[in-house]
Homo-oligomer: A and B are copies of this chain.
Amino acid sequence: MVKKSNEAPPDVPSRGDWRHYEPVKLSPILTHALEAFYEHGFHGTTVRDIARRVGVTVPALYYHHENKEAVLVALLETATNDVIWRADAAAGEGGDDPEARLANVVEAVVLHMTHRVRLAALDSELRYLQPDNRRHYAATRKKLETLLTEIIEDGVDRGVFAVTLPAETARALLGMCQAIAKWYHDGGPLRPEEIAGRYVDIALTTVGVRGPASRTGLGHPGGASPVG
């Protein structure tokens, strides 16, 4: 079970509509660090680089964050909190319907990967964290995988989804969504909402909700004659 907390996480001032995105609210240090990490990677950015972008001294930066890794951790915390409350809210809005819950969660994750692409791209820096921090984030990210696995298992139990490997399917679907941060950029041909719509469609096919019969009017695979 994904445990829901009633306390708003520190970095997310309001938990409104999970589909609605405002520019992310970060301190000046985190804002500039995020840009620097996005452009040059965590390892390609020095504390001095960040301080220079912010316009503060290095000691001033250390006053707020213990070291560069602590800056990354603060950003990852923001990213994780953001995607998790949205995914939880999205699942909740789906009520008792596994298809709606799955569709909403995939939509929420894709909207996060696109609207928050700079934060989402930090994901690839995770493996450079110290073991303790890495474990913490692995556990937090696991919540998302667990949420999706439970939705899929529920759909299978009810005979709505046809999936033999719910946990692997959940992980694969998340991987599919997370890979978006590798190619998505603001100003690309597709808007976040369009990408989300397409990935929801693919996810529903993946769990077997949308089979040949329901979409194209064809019979089962073997029954149709070659067209092309």
- Hey, which bits of chain A sit against chain B, CB under 8 A? 40-45, 123-128, 153-154, 157-165, 168-169, 171-180, 182-183, 198-199, 201-202, 205-216, 218, 220-228
Give the docked Cα–Cα distance between A123 and B179 (Å): 11
Total identical chains? 2
Is A202 a contact of B169 with CB atoms below 8 Å?
yes
Partner of A160, one of B157, B175, B210, B224: B224
Q: How far is the CB of A161 from chain B (nearest CB, A)?
A: 8
Is B228 a contact of A158 with CB atoms below 8 Å?
yes
Is A128 a contact of B40 with CB atoms below 8 Å?
yes
Tell me which residues across on chain B come within 8 A of A168, comparing CB atoms.
Answer: 198-199, 202
Q: How far is the CB of A90 from chain B (nearest CB, A)?
A: 19
Tell me which residues across on chain B come within 8 A of A220, comparing CB atoms.
Answer: 211, 213-214
